Amino acid sequence: MAAMNAVDVRGLSRSFDGREILRGVTFSVAHGEIFGYLGPNGAGKTTTIRILLGLLTPGAGECRVLGRDLALDDAARAKVGVLFENNGLADRLSAADNLAYYAGLYDLDDPRDRIDELLALVDLEDRRNDPVGTFSTGMKRRLGIARAILHRPEVVFLDEPSSGLDPGAQRMVRDLIVDLSQREEMTVFLNSHHLDEVQRICSTVAILAGGRIRAFDSVKNLTAASGRPEMTVVLADPGDRARARETAMALPYVSGCEEDGEVLRCTLTDPGVIPDLIAALAAAGFRLLEVRRSSRSLEEIYLENVGQSEGGS
């Protein structure tokens, strides 16, 4: 397996009670990136994480974290952090005491500065001495992330970190993940149902459905419009759409142009002619409000791949 990746999974399979949950799953996560692992409930995302962490044995295939098998390597496990749905916090202890307890488990020397640093990072400095049982769900989630990265792991696994949070708390957790990735220089393995969140912060994603990886690529590549470059043209006067379409279709570098509601969607032979299209439409007297490169949302790609898995393996 390639040691250059933070996470490597090759041909991973796993069954429970005769039901195959994972079937030949293969993907990798580069060092320092925020990786999104997507899929419907029951797809096997948490099972994959548990196998990576050495908590479950694979039926077939192999996986490595930092080039090691965590089921066998105590030293490698010490370089990994994890946050499952349960935050792992004691409600009767204060925020600071919770972190101090885990610092003892990690055998950290004089962890006071690190605890202060993390409470500031998760914006809980003013609640450091309050019992965690008095915290909101979002506050507990942020403290749970602080617990997971207390020992400065090289890789951190976050299993549905925004689950059950309101939009404001989701944003705080999302910003926190980006911050810790940059400030702590950690590789983040993010299992999430929040596709908008994933599209905003992840560099690479894998979509798991029907026990198989249905898509694995950078977010940029996945969301780019497939085939030849497509442009969306918004006119100041929607009544000009038909005439503008005829003008565009007469251009040698426009291979197709259709009206789509209030906009035109033009397919070009080459992305380098985009300025030519704008200039030609403006020269023909059309006032342009917007011209943008068409793309697909991660939600569209996700639903397309999940739908394919439901239609058959």
Question: What does the pLDDT look like over 91-149, one tens digit per residue?
Answer: 999 999 999 999 999 999 899 999 999 999 999 999 999 999 999 999 999 999 999 99
What confidence category does residue 2 fall into, taking pLDDT thresholds of 50, 70 and 90? very low
Q: In which element (H, E) is residue 241 found?
A: helix 241-249
* Dist CA 289 CA 304 (whole Å): 31
* Dist CA 291 CA 93 (whole Å): 56
Give the CA distances from residue 158 to residues 5, 241, 251, 266, in Å, rounded to whole numbers and listed in that order: 18, 47, 50, 41
Q: What is the mean pLDDT of the chain?
A: 90
What residue ranges define each of the domains in the chain, with the CATH number in brackets?
A: 5-222 (3.40.50.300), 230-293 (3.30.70.100)
Give the CA distances from residue 177 to residues 173, 180, 190, in Å, rounded to whole numbers and listed in that order: 6, 5, 9
The CA angle 54-145-70, to the nearest 5 degrees, is 15
pLDDT given at position 261: 83
pLDDT given at position 1: 45
| Secondary structure (3-state) at 7 | strand
